[in-house]
Amino acid sequence: MSADEAEPKTDETSETDTSAKRADGPDKLSVFAAKSPLDGSDLGPVQATAPEDVPALARKARDAQQAWANRPVHERAAIIAKVKKRLLSRAEEIATLVHRECGKPVEEAALAEVLPNADLIEYWTASIDELLEGTTVEFDPVAYPGKLGRIHKAPRGLVGLITPWNYPVAIPLRTIVPALLAGNAVLFKPSEVTPRSGALVASFFEGLLPEGLLTLVQGGGDVGGAVIEEADVVVFTGSVATGKRVAVRCAERLIPCSLELGGKDAAIVLADAPLERTANGLLWGAFTNAGQNCASIERVYVERAIADKLIPRIVELTKALRPGLDTAVLTTMKQCDIVRRHLTQAQSDGAEILIGGSPEEGSLAFAPTVVKLEREDTPLMREETFGPILPIVVVDDAKDAIARVNASTFGLTTSIWTRRINHAHDLARTLRSGVVTINNHGFTAAVPAAPWTGTGDSGYGITNSPFALAELTRPQFVLEDRSRAAKELWWYPYTPVLRTIAYAMARLRGGAGFMGRISALFQLIAAFPKRLSGK
Ligand code: NAD
């Protein structure tokens, strides 16, 4: 990509037209088109799914799921493992498409949207057999003679997957891969902002899976709503506002949902932090994907003793970033307006812009911006900005920083920058964040063995790691009874002998002292044969 290619347009570049230019009659398929946020070039039309077609697609997916779930796990793993080569061999195609559709640099697209998927597929295909293995429940042979129990991890059935536009390849795959391996079917609706990347994801599985098992549906909130109506579980990644609507509908349908929502991630810089690593790390954590990352650093709390060295270094490094090469353009004009509003309000609330600032009206090229401020009661410090702004607040000490971090309604990830690692671990335990990183930030979403999760407004979903399987499977307990007795002790009829046994057992199991337990034991020895003879 040349700098020229990356030069953003100043018109209505990435506004997606979902206003439905009807292609096939008024109640059938619609087409939505969009322009690249990079240069305004036409990305070509994408056919949307009619919401009323979703139930039939879901039925087909369910039919395919039954047979898929019955296949041995190692067979499913062998099929999904083939996706890795397909994906890696199309690395350039993926990176280029995401670059054009989203506006992030090609390098970023290759590093974030291609390579981690190889780890993802390797991790899940290698571990799924063991992770799905059932466990045995042991029974007391006196109270429950002849009984044996097994807990299986059964697939949920049909997973409704609804995803955002900021990582349009990596995020869907983080659910599709384990969901299929666990024996589910998936109804996948990518964001209407990045439907082409969504289609590319589905294409990696083409010809490998039973027809309909992984079904792509395209469109906006109406199609997302139709997916929820059909699913057995919904895995949603997106904004807090939409997440709440999704959760309400799932509650009404009494189906579980996983919500990975927004963030207002903080970095805490202690006085002894390694200066150069910290400055570079904060820069990347705030500006990668133009800050359109749920784990983007949107607040820095720096201890006074290092602030005078750290802040000028961050400004210097920001100045060296090359627009369009190191930094992305914003993906949508809607997002650009939010970022502009937060910055303008922060300025009125006393924030000082050290470098950067809002672009011209109509441009998506928001420059990386560093801001110094004191007040917390401004949207830039409270709401998710999702843009390339690094707000810095100087604090007295770590205690002050922790209190400010935990005061947020969000709780996705937080980083601590210091040379005192043990101290950082102590601080981590006081943070209300799903992920804490010491001397690094945000990248662990790409690590398949590490749980990615949040608290509060960041949602309660869990992506990656064996914990994610709790969303994609349900425990099914199967009891096997080998007893040949005509009756169980507790079956009819209810008699005084049964009552004596019940009370004696209560005493024997701790309801009485030593002598009481001895007498209960004798009572039981006398009562059991009577009960077995039908009394
Ligand atoms: P969004 O909420 O606008 O849309 C997300 C998805 O929901 C899209 O596919 C959209 O079509 C669909 N949708 C919209 N209305 C719906 C409805 N009523 N029913 C069902 N589906 C509906 O979010 P976005 O702008 O695409 O994504 C950005 C947000 O995602 C940010 O808040 C970001 O922090 C968050 N995010 C979170 C994580 C995480 O892991 N926590 C990761 C990436 C992005």
Orientation of helix 240-253 relative to helix 221-230, angle to 10°: 30
Report percent pLDDT > 90 for the chain: 93
Per-residue pLDDT, averaged over 304-315, amounts to 98
Instruction: Provide the pLDDT for residue 32.
Output: 74
Q: What would the pLDDT profile of 158-195 be if each residue is shown by its tens digit?
A: 999 999 999 999 999 999 999 999 999 999 999 999 99
Residue by residue, DSSP assigns 90-144 as THHHHHHHHHHHH---HHHHHHHHTHHHHHHHHHHHHHHHHHT--EEE---TTTS
Per-residue pLDDT, averaged over 401-410, amounts to 98
Q: What is the CA radius of gyration of the chain?
A: 28
Contact indicator for 419, 274 with CB cutoff of 8 Å:
yes
Question: Which helix (DSSP H) or strand (DSSP E) does residue 368 occupy?
Answer: strand 367-372
The pick from 191, 227, 229 for probing ligand 1's pocket by mutation, whose C-beta has the most ligand atoms within 8 angstroms, reads 191
- The number of the ligand 1 atom at minimal distance from the alpha carbon of 238 is 30
Burial per residue of 461-478, b for 16 or more beta-carbon CB atoms within 10 angstroms, e otherwise:
bbbbbeebbebbbeeeee
Per-residue pLDDT, averaged over 208-221, amounts to 97
Catalytic-labelled residue, pool 250, 257, 294, 336: 294
Residue 478: strand pairing partners: 150
- Answer yes or no: is pLDDT of 19 > 70: no
Asked whether the CA dihedral 362, 20, 230, 121 is positive or negative, the reply is negative
142 falls in which pLDDT band (50, 70, 90)?
A: confident
Instruction: Provide the pLDDT for residue 327.
Output: 94
Per-residue pLDDT, averaged over 216-243, amounts to 98
Per-residue pLDDT, averaged over 431-456, amounts to 98
Instruction: Provide the pLDDT for residue 21.
Output: 39
Instruction: Provide the pLDDT for residue 30.
Output: 63
Q: Identity (one letter) of the amino acid at 7?
A: E
221 Cα–ligand 1 center, Å: 10
34 Cα–ligand 1 center, Å: 18
Residue by residue, DSSP assigns 447-472 as -TTS-EE-EETT-S-EESSGGGHHHH
Assess whether the C-beta atom of 292 lies below 6 angstroms from ligand 1. Answer: no
Position of tokens 């059932």? 134
Distance CA 117, CA 206 (A): 17
Pairing state of beta strands 367-372 and 352-357? antiparallel
For the question of residue 294 being annotated catalytic, the response is yes
Assess whether the C-beta atom of 238 lies below 6 angstroms from ligand 1. Answer: yes
Q: Does pTM top 0.75 for this prediction?
A: yes
Instruction: Provide the pLDDT for residue 440.
Output: 98
Contact indicator for 267, 304 with CB cutoff of 8 Å:
no
Instruction: Provide the pLDDT for residue 245.
Output: 98
How is the beta sheet containing 30-33 ordered, strand by strand? 17-22, 30-33, 46-47
Assess whether the C-beta atom of 294 lies below 6 angstroms from ligand 1. Answer: yes
The closest residue, in CA terms, to atom 20 on ligand 1 is: 224
Residue 47: strand pairing partners: 31
CA atoms within 13 A on the CB side of 24: 9
Instruction: Provide the pLDDT for residue 26.
Output: 39
Instruction: Provide the pLDDT for residue 12.
Output: 40
369 falls in which pLDDT band (50, 70, 90)?
A: very high
Assess whether the C-beta atom of 239 lies below 6 angstroms from ligand 1. Answer: yes
- Answer yes or no: is pLDDT of 405 > 90: yes
Contact indicator for 452, 436 with CB cutoff of 8 Å:
no
Contact indicator for 60, 45 with CB cutoff of 8 Å:
no
324 falls in which pLDDT band (50, 70, 90)?
A: confident
Instruction: Provide the pLDDT for residue 143.
Output: 87
Residue 327 vs residues 2, 109, 181, 291, 292: alpha-carbon distances, Å? 13, 12, 36, 9, 11
For residue 28, with 0-12 CB atoms within 10 Å meaning exposed, 13-18 middle and 19 or more buried, which class applies? exposed
Question: Which helix (DSSP H) or strand (DSSP E) does residue 16 occupy?
Answer: none
Distance CA 298, CA 125 (A): 35
- Answer yes or no: is pLDDT of 208 > 90: yes
Assess whether the C-beta atom of 261 lies below 6 angstroms from ligand 1. Answer: yes
11 falls in which pLDDT band (50, 70, 90)?
A: very low
- Answer yes or no: is pLDDT of 9 > 50: no
Q: What would the pLDDT profile of 247-287 be if each residue is shown by its tens digit?
A: 999 999 999 999 999 999 999 999 999 999 999 999 999 99
- Answer yes or no: is pLDDT of 196 > 70: yes
Average pLDDT, the chain: 94
Residue 323: strand pairing partners: 327
Instruction: Provide the pLDDT for residue 455.
Output: 98
For the question of residue 15 being annotated catalytic, the response is no
Instruction: Provide the pLDDT for residue 224.
Output: 98
Distance CA 65, CA 42 (A): 37
Distance CA 301, CA 163 (A): 31
Per-residue pLDDT, averaged over 414-423, amounts to 98
Q: Name every residue whose Cβ is closer than 8 Å to that of residue 194 and which is 6 or more positions away in sequence.
A: 98, 101, 102, 165, 168
Q: Where are the beta strands (DSSP E) in 172-232?
A: 185-189, 214-216
The pick from 15, 240, 294 for probing ligand 1's pocket by mutation, whose C-beta has the most ligand atoms within 8 angstroms, reads 294
Distance CA 124, CA 206 (A): 19
- Answer yes or no: is pLDDT of 36 > 50: yes
Cα–Cα nearest to 285, from 120, 115, 378, 416: 416
Instruction: Provide the pLDDT for residue 16.
Output: 45
Contact indicator for 494, 531 with CB cutoff of 8 Å:
no
Assess whether the C-beta atom of 49 lies below 6 angstroms from ligand 1. Answer: no
5 falls in which pLDDT band (50, 70, 90)?
A: very low
Assess whether the C-beta atom of 456 lies below 6 angstroms from ligand 1. Answer: no
Q: What would the pLDDT profile of 63-81 be if each residue is shown by its tens digit?
A: 999 999 999 999 999 999 9
Distance CA 366, CA 359 (A): 5
The pick from 98, 166, 339 for probing ligand 1's pocket by mutation, whose C-beta has the most ligand atoms within 8 angstroms, reads 166
Report percent pLDDT > 70 for the chain: 94
